[in-house]
Protein backbone atom coordinates (compact mmCIF):
# COMPACT_ATOMS: atom_id res chain seq x y z
CA UNK A 1 0.00 0.00 0.00
CA UNK A 2 1.42 3.39 -1.01
CA UNK A 3 1.25 6.21 1.55
CA UNK A 4 -1.30 8.95 1.00
CA UNK A 5 0.04 12.37 -0.03
CA UNK A 6 1.14 14.20 3.10
CA UNK A 7 0.67 17.83 3.99
CA UNK A 8 3.76 19.76 2.85
CA UNK A 9 6.30 20.55 5.54
CA UNK A 10 6.16 24.18 6.66
CA UNK A 11 9.62 25.39 5.61
CA UNK A 12 11.50 28.66 5.92
CA UNK A 13 13.21 29.04 2.55
CA UNK A 14 15.58 31.83 1.53
CA UNK A 15 14.10 32.74 -1.88
CA UNK A 16 11.20 32.37 -4.28
CA UNK A 17 13.47 30.20 -6.44
CA UNK A 18 13.95 27.84 -3.50
CA UNK A 19 10.20 27.64 -2.92
CA UNK A 20 9.65 26.78 -6.59
CA UNK A 21 12.38 24.15 -6.38
CA UNK A 22 10.77 22.47 -3.38
CA UNK A 23 7.38 22.55 -5.12
CA UNK A 24 8.96 20.90 -8.18
CA UNK A 25 10.54 18.27 -5.94
CA UNK A 26 7.25 17.43 -4.22
CA UNK A 27 5.57 17.10 -7.61
CA UNK A 28 8.29 14.72 -8.83
CA UNK A 29 8.00 12.69 -5.65
CA UNK A 30 4.25 12.28 -6.17
CA UNK A 31 4.54 11.40 -9.87
CA UNK A 32 7.82 9.49 -10.17
CA UNK A 33 8.75 8.08 -6.75
CA UNK A 34 5.75 7.15 -4.62
CA UNK A 35 3.95 5.07 -7.30
CA UNK A 36 7.00 2.82 -7.76
CA UNK A 37 8.88 2.71 -4.45
CA UNK A 38 7.16 -0.23 -2.75
CA UNK A 39 7.08 -2.49 -5.82
CA UNK A 40 10.67 -1.77 -6.86
CA UNK A 41 11.97 -2.20 -3.31
CA UNK A 42 10.19 -5.56 -3.07
CA UNK A 43 11.74 -6.63 -6.38
CA UNK A 44 15.16 -5.12 -5.66
CA UNK A 45 15.09 -3.05 -8.86
CA UNK A 46 17.47 -0.11 -9.23
CA UNK A 47 15.45 2.90 -10.51
CA UNK A 48 18.06 4.22 -12.97
CA UNK A 49 15.45 5.99 -15.09
CA UNK A 50 14.18 7.89 -12.04
CA UNK A 51 17.67 9.34 -11.61
CA UNK A 52 17.65 10.45 -15.23
CA UNK A 53 14.27 12.11 -14.71
CA UNK A 54 15.34 14.03 -11.62
CA UNK A 55 18.65 14.78 -13.32
CA UNK A 56 16.78 16.41 -16.20
CA UNK A 57 14.98 18.48 -13.56
CA UNK A 58 18.35 19.68 -12.25
CA UNK A 59 18.18 17.85 -8.92
CA UNK A 60 21.48 15.96 -9.33
CA UNK A 61 23.63 19.09 -9.40
CA UNK A 62 22.04 21.53 -6.97
CA UNK A 63 24.97 22.70 -4.81
CA UNK A 64 27.46 23.16 -7.67
CA UNK A 65 28.24 26.21 -9.82
CA UNK A 66 26.15 27.28 -12.77
CA UNK A 67 29.27 27.55 -14.97
CA UNK A 68 29.52 23.74 -14.81
CA UNK A 69 25.81 23.08 -15.20
CA UNK A 70 25.00 23.07 -11.49
CA UNK A 71 22.07 24.63 -9.71
CA UNK A 72 24.10 27.15 -7.67
CA UNK A 73 21.91 26.45 -4.62
CA UNK A 74 22.99 26.84 -1.00
CA UNK A 75 23.24 23.69 1.08
CA UNK A 76 20.30 24.96 3.11
CA UNK A 77 18.10 24.45 0.04
CA UNK A 78 19.80 21.37 -1.41
CA UNK A 79 19.37 19.43 1.85
CA UNK A 80 15.67 20.20 2.03
CA UNK A 81 15.29 18.84 -1.50
CA UNK A 82 17.10 15.71 -0.33
CA UNK A 83 14.72 15.43 2.61
CA UNK A 84 11.69 15.54 0.29
CA UNK A 85 13.20 12.92 -2.04
CA UNK A 86 14.07 10.61 0.86
CA UNK A 87 10.57 10.94 2.27
CA UNK A 88 9.27 9.61 -1.03
CA UNK A 89 11.92 6.92 -1.56
CA UNK A 90 15.13 6.66 0.44
CA UNK A 91 16.98 4.81 -2.33
CA UNK A 92 16.57 7.91 -4.49
CA UNK A 93 17.27 10.50 -1.80
CA UNK A 94 20.38 8.70 -0.61
CA UNK A 95 21.42 8.11 -4.22
CA UNK A 96 21.33 11.85 -4.91
CA UNK A 97 23.36 12.44 -1.76
CA UNK A 98 25.97 9.89 -2.85
CA UNK A 99 26.16 11.40 -6.33
CA UNK A 100 26.73 14.85 -4.82
CA UNK A 101 29.41 13.37 -2.55
CA UNK A 102 31.06 11.75 -5.57
CA UNK A 103 31.33 15.11 -7.36
CA UNK A 104 32.82 16.88 -4.33
CA UNK A 105 36.45 15.87 -4.89
CA UNK A 106 36.63 17.24 -8.42
CA UNK A 107 34.51 20.33 -7.68
CA UNK A 108 36.49 21.32 -4.58
CA UNK A 109 40.02 20.03 -5.23
CA UNK A 110 40.33 19.60 -8.98
CA UNK A 111 42.21 21.99 -11.24
CA UNK A 112 40.35 24.44 -13.46
CA UNK A 113 41.24 22.27 -16.45
CA UNK A 114 39.91 19.13 -14.76
CA UNK A 115 36.67 20.82 -13.74
CA UNK A 116 36.11 22.24 -17.21
CA UNK A 117 36.73 18.83 -18.76
CA UNK A 118 34.75 16.47 -16.53
CA UNK A 119 32.45 18.30 -14.14
CA UNK A 120 29.78 19.39 -16.67
CA UNK A 121 29.24 15.77 -17.69
CA UNK A 122 29.08 14.64 -14.07
CA UNK A 123 26.46 17.28 -13.34
CA UNK A 124 24.49 16.84 -16.56
CA UNK A 125 21.89 14.52 -15.06
CA UNK A 126 22.87 11.68 -17.40
CA UNK A 127 25.80 10.46 -15.29
CA UNK A 128 25.66 8.91 -11.83
CA UNK A 129 28.60 8.75 -9.45
CA UNK A 130 29.96 6.54 -6.69
CA UNK A 131 32.26 7.36 -3.77
CA UNK A 132 34.89 4.72 -2.99
CA UNK A 133 36.57 4.87 0.40
CA UNK A 134 35.68 1.78 2.47
CA UNK A 135 37.34 -1.59 1.98
CA UNK A 136 36.65 -5.05 3.42
CA UNK A 137 39.16 -4.54 6.24
CA UNK A 138 38.98 -0.73 6.61
CA UNK A 139 35.63 0.84 7.42
CA UNK A 140 35.75 3.24 10.34
CA UNK A 141 39.57 3.13 10.14
CA UNK A 142 39.58 4.60 6.65
CA UNK A 143 43.29 5.47 6.77
CA UNK A 144 44.05 1.73 6.78
CA UNK A 145 42.90 1.28 3.18
CA UNK A 146 45.07 -0.97 1.00
CA UNK A 147 43.92 -0.47 -2.59
CA UNK A 148 47.18 0.56 -4.23
CA UNK A 149 47.97 2.75 -7.20
CA UNK A 150 51.48 2.51 -8.68
CA UNK A 151 52.63 5.13 -11.16
CA UNK A 152 53.74 3.65 -14.48
CA UNK A 153 54.70 6.40 -16.89
CA UNK A 154 51.62 8.58 -17.34
CA UNK A 155 49.24 6.05 -15.81
CA UNK A 156 48.43 4.70 -12.38
CA UNK A 157 47.99 0.95 -12.14
CA UNK A 158 45.34 0.28 -9.50
CA UNK A 159 44.85 -3.03 -7.67
CA UNK A 160 42.65 -3.84 -4.69
CA UNK A 161 39.06 -4.09 -3.51
CA UNK A 162 36.55 -1.49 -2.35
CA UNK A 163 33.51 -2.45 -0.27
CA UNK A 164 30.03 -1.13 0.54
CA UNK A 165 29.95 1.06 -2.57
CA UNK A 166 26.55 2.59 -3.32
CA UNK A 167 25.82 2.41 -7.06
CA UNK A 168 28.67 -0.11 -7.43
CA UNK A 169 28.45 -1.56 -10.92
CA UNK A 170 25.89 1.04 -12.02
CA UNK A 171 27.80 4.32 -11.69
CA UNK A 172 29.44 6.15 -14.58
CA UNK A 173 32.40 7.38 -12.54
CA UNK A 174 34.04 6.44 -9.24
CA UNK A 175 35.80 8.95 -6.96
CA UNK A 176 38.28 6.49 -5.48
CA UNK A 177 40.70 6.82 -2.58
CA UNK A 178 43.83 4.75 -3.23
CA UNK A 179 47.21 4.26 -1.58
CA UNK A 180 50.13 5.82 -3.46
CA UNK A 181 52.65 5.44 -0.61
CA UNK A 182 52.98 3.68 2.75
CA UNK A 183 52.94 6.95 4.71
CA UNK A 184 49.70 6.25 6.61
CA UNK A 185 46.93 8.77 5.98
CA UNK A 186 49.43 10.95 4.09
CA UNK A 187 49.92 8.19 1.56
CA UNK A 188 46.35 8.29 0.20
CA UNK A 189 45.40 9.94 -3.09
CA UNK A 190 42.17 10.46 -5.03
CA UNK A 191 41.61 9.16 -8.56
CA UNK A 192 38.58 9.77 -10.76
CA UNK A 193 38.06 6.32 -12.26
CA UNK A 194 35.75 5.97 -15.28
CA UNK A 195 33.32 3.07 -15.48
CA UNK A 196 34.28 0.48 -18.07
CA UNK A 197 38.02 0.67 -17.45
CA UNK A 198 39.80 -2.57 -18.29
CA UNK A 199 40.30 -4.70 -15.18
CA UNK A 200 37.54 -2.94 -13.24
CA UNK A 201 34.53 -5.01 -12.15
CA UNK A 202 31.75 -5.09 -9.58
CA UNK A 203 30.69 -8.06 -7.48
CA UNK A 204 27.00 -9.00 -7.21
CA UNK A 205 25.11 -6.57 -4.95
CA UNK A 206 24.99 -7.24 -1.23
CA UNK A 207 21.77 -8.74 0.14
CA UNK A 208 20.57 -6.07 2.56
CA UNK A 209 17.71 -5.89 5.05
CA UNK A 210 16.50 -2.66 3.47
CA UNK A 211 17.33 -0.25 0.66
CA UNK A 212 17.12 -3.14 -1.79
CA UNK A 213 16.60 -0.78 -4.74
CA UNK A 214 19.95 0.85 -4.02
CA UNK A 215 22.77 -1.47 -5.18
CA UNK A 216 25.68 -1.82 -2.75
CA UNK A 217 28.62 -3.84 -4.04
CA UNK A 218 32.30 -4.59 -3.77
CA UNK A 219 34.51 -3.23 -6.55
CA UNK A 220 37.57 -5.06 -7.83
CA UNK A 221 40.54 -3.26 -9.36
CA UNK A 222 42.71 -5.80 -11.19
CA UNK A 223 45.55 -3.76 -12.67
CA UNK A 224 43.21 -0.96 -13.75
CA UNK A 225 45.11 1.71 -15.66
CA UNK A 226 44.03 5.27 -14.89
CA UNK A 227 45.52 8.30 -16.63
CA UNK A 228 47.68 10.43 -14.35
CA UNK A 229 45.60 13.44 -15.35
CA UNK A 230 42.74 11.86 -13.36
CA UNK A 231 44.58 12.43 -10.08
CA UNK A 232 42.46 14.92 -8.12
CA UNK A 233 44.51 17.32 -6.00
CA UNK A 234 48.04 16.30 -5.12
CA UNK A 235 49.43 12.89 -4.32
CA UNK A 236 48.92 12.30 -0.59
CA UNK A 237 45.95 14.69 -0.39
CA UNK A 238 43.31 11.99 -0.71
CA UNK A 239 42.58 11.56 3.00
CA UNK A 240 41.97 15.30 3.35
CA UNK A 241 39.68 15.15 0.30
CA UNK A 242 37.81 12.17 1.75
CA UNK A 243 37.20 13.82 5.12
CA UNK A 244 36.08 17.07 3.49
CA UNK A 245 33.59 15.17 1.37
CA UNK A 246 32.29 13.24 4.38
CA UNK A 247 31.58 16.43 6.36
CA UNK A 248 29.20 17.52 3.62
CA UNK A 249 27.93 14.01 2.98
CA UNK A 250 26.95 13.59 6.63
CA UNK A 251 24.58 16.51 6.25
CA UNK A 252 23.02 14.69 3.31
CA UNK A 253 22.48 11.59 5.44
CA UNK A 254 20.96 13.73 8.20
CA UNK A 255 18.49 15.25 5.75
CA UNK A 256 17.60 11.82 4.35
CA UNK A 257 17.00 10.55 7.89
CA UNK A 258 14.61 13.40 8.61
CA UNK A 259 12.80 12.62 5.36
CA UNK A 260 12.27 8.97 6.28
CA UNK A 261 11.15 9.96 9.78
CA UNK A 262 8.71 12.52 8.36
CA UNK A 263 7.21 9.92 6.03
CA UNK A 264 6.79 7.54 8.97
CA UNK A 265 5.15 10.24 11.08
CA UNK A 266 2.76 11.23 8.28
CA UNK A 267 1.74 7.60 7.88
CA UNK A 268 1.25 7.16 11.63
CA UNK A 269 -0.81 10.34 11.99
CA UNK A 270 -3.03 9.41 9.06
CA UNK A 271 -3.57 5.89 10.39
CA UNK A 272 -4.21 7.03 13.96
CA UNK A 273 -6.82 9.50 12.74
CA UNK A 274 -8.83 6.86 10.87
CA UNK A 275 -8.32 3.70 12.92
CA UNK A 276 -11.28 3.29 15.29
CA UNK A 277 -11.10 1.44 18.62
CA UNK A 278 -13.56 1.66 21.50
CA UNK A 279 -15.75 3.92 19.39
CA UNK A 280 -13.24 6.66 18.58
CA UNK A 281 -10.00 7.26 16.61
CA UNK A 282 -6.96 5.89 18.37
CA UNK A 283 -5.31 9.33 17.99
CA UNK A 284 -7.72 10.53 20.71
CA UNK A 285 -6.05 8.30 23.30
CA UNK A 286 -3.46 10.19 25.31
CA UNK A 287 -0.87 7.40 25.30
CA UNK A 288 -0.80 7.36 21.52
CA UNK A 289 -1.12 11.11 21.00
CA UNK A 290 1.89 11.64 23.27
CA UNK A 291 3.87 9.16 21.16
CA UNK A 292 2.99 11.11 17.99
CA UNK A 293 3.95 14.37 19.71
CA UNK A 294 7.37 12.99 20.66
CA UNK A 295 7.90 11.76 17.09
CA UNK A 296 7.06 15.18 15.65
CA UNK A 297 9.32 16.95 18.13
CA UNK A 298 12.31 14.76 17.28
CA UNK A 299 11.80 15.45 13.58
CA UNK A 300 11.62 19.21 14.06
CA UNK A 301 14.73 19.15 16.27
CA UNK A 302 16.64 17.12 13.68
CA UNK A 303 15.59 19.39 10.84
CA UNK A 304 16.69 22.46 12.79
CA UNK A 305 20.04 20.84 13.60
CA UNK A 306 20.94 19.90 10.03
CA UNK A 307 19.81 23.30 8.72
CA UNK A 308 21.93 25.13 11.31
CA UNK A 309 24.96 23.14 10.16
CA UNK A 310 24.11 23.81 6.51
CA UNK A 311 23.90 27.55 7.13
CA UNK A 312 27.36 27.45 8.71
CA UNK A 313 28.66 25.69 5.62
CA UNK A 314 26.98 28.24 3.34
CA UNK A 315 28.57 31.06 5.36
CA UNK A 316 32.04 29.54 4.94
CA UNK A 317 32.32 28.64 8.64
CA UNK A 318 33.70 25.41 10.10
CA UNK A 319 30.91 22.84 10.34
CA UNK A 320 32.57 19.45 10.92
CA UNK A 321 31.37 19.15 14.52
CA UNK A 322 27.88 20.37 13.62
CA UNK A 323 27.69 17.90 10.70
CA UNK A 324 28.60 15.03 13.02
CA UNK A 325 25.98 16.19 15.53
CA UNK A 326 23.32 16.42 12.83
CA UNK A 327 24.14 13.00 11.40
CA UNK A 328 24.14 11.45 14.88
CA UNK A 329 20.92 13.02 16.12
CA UNK A 330 18.88 12.78 12.92
CA UNK A 331 19.66 9.13 12.23
CA UNK A 332 19.08 8.05 15.83
CA UNK A 333 15.81 9.99 15.76
CA UNK A 334 14.79 8.31 12.50
CA UNK A 335 15.32 4.90 14.08
CA UNK A 336 13.15 5.82 17.06
CA UNK A 337 10.43 7.47 14.98
CA UNK A 338 10.13 4.63 12.47
CA UNK A 339 10.04 2.06 15.27
CA UNK A 340 7.25 4.03 16.94
CA UNK A 341 5.38 4.27 13.63
CA UNK A 342 5.30 0.49 13.43
CA UNK A 343 3.92 0.44 16.97
CA UNK A 344 1.20 2.96 16.13
CA UNK A 345 -0.01 0.76 13.26
CA UNK A 346 0.07 -2.30 15.49
CA UNK A 347 -0.15 -5.58 13.59
CA UNK A 348 -0.54 -3.72 10.30
CA UNK A 349 2.77 -1.99 10.96
CA UNK A 350 4.49 -5.36 10.92
CA UNK A 351 3.11 -6.29 7.51
CA UNK A 352 4.20 -5.19 4.07
CA UNK A 353 0.71 -3.88 3.37
CA UNK A 354 1.93 -0.55 4.79
CA UNK A 355 5.35 1.07 4.33
CA UNK A 356 6.02 1.47 8.07
CA UNK A 357 8.13 -1.69 8.24
CA UNK A 358 10.14 -0.54 5.19
CA UNK A 359 10.82 2.82 6.79
CA UNK A 360 12.06 1.05 9.91
CA UNK A 361 14.42 -1.19 7.93
CA UNK A 362 15.68 1.76 5.90
CA UNK A 363 16.32 3.94 8.94
CA UNK A 364 18.76 1.41 10.38
CA UNK A 365 21.33 1.81 7.63
CA UNK A 366 21.47 5.58 8.16
CA UNK A 367 23.02 5.00 11.59
CA UNK A 368 25.86 3.14 9.84
CA UNK A 369 26.71 4.80 6.50
CA UNK A 370 29.21 7.65 6.09
CA UNK A 371 30.62 7.09 9.54
CA UNK A 372 28.81 5.03 12.15
CA UNK A 373 27.15 6.97 14.93
CA UNK A 374 29.90 5.76 17.24
CA UNK A 375 32.39 7.52 14.95
CA UNK A 376 30.22 10.66 15.05
CA UNK A 377 30.45 10.66 18.84
CA UNK A 378 34.22 10.28 18.53
CA UNK A 379 34.39 13.27 16.15
CA UNK A 380 32.24 15.41 18.46
CA UNK A 381 34.26 14.41 21.52
CA UNK A 382 37.53 15.35 19.83
CA UNK A 383 36.17 18.75 18.94
CA UNK A 384 35.08 19.29 22.53
CA UNK A 385 38.52 18.36 23.86
CA UNK A 386 40.31 20.45 21.24
CA UNK A 387 42.13 17.50 19.67
Active-site amino acid positions: 370
CB atoms within 10 A of CB 205: 18
Give Cα 201 to chain centroid, integer Å: 23
CA–CA gap between residue 290 and residue 298 (Å, rounded): 12
Listed in order, strand segments (DSSP E) in 254-385 are: 276-277, 280-281
CA distance 128 to 48: 9
Cα dihedral sign, 276-277-281-282: negative
| Whole-number Å distance between alpha carbons of 303 and 136 | 33
Q: CA angle, corner 14, sides to 11 and 18, nearest 5?
A: 75
**188-194/173-179 β-pairing:** antiparallel
β partners of residue 152: 155
Amino acid sequence: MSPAPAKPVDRQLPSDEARELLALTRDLVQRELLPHAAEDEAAGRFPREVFRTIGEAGLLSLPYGEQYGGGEQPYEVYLQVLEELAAGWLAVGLGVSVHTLSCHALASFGSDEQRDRWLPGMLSGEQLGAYCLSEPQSGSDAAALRTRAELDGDEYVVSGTKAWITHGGHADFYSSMVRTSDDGSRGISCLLVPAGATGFSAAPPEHKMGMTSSPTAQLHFDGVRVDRERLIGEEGQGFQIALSALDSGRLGIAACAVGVAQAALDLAVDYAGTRQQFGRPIADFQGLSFMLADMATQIEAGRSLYLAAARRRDAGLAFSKEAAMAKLFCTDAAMRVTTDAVQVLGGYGYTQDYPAERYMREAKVLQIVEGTNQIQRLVIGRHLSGK
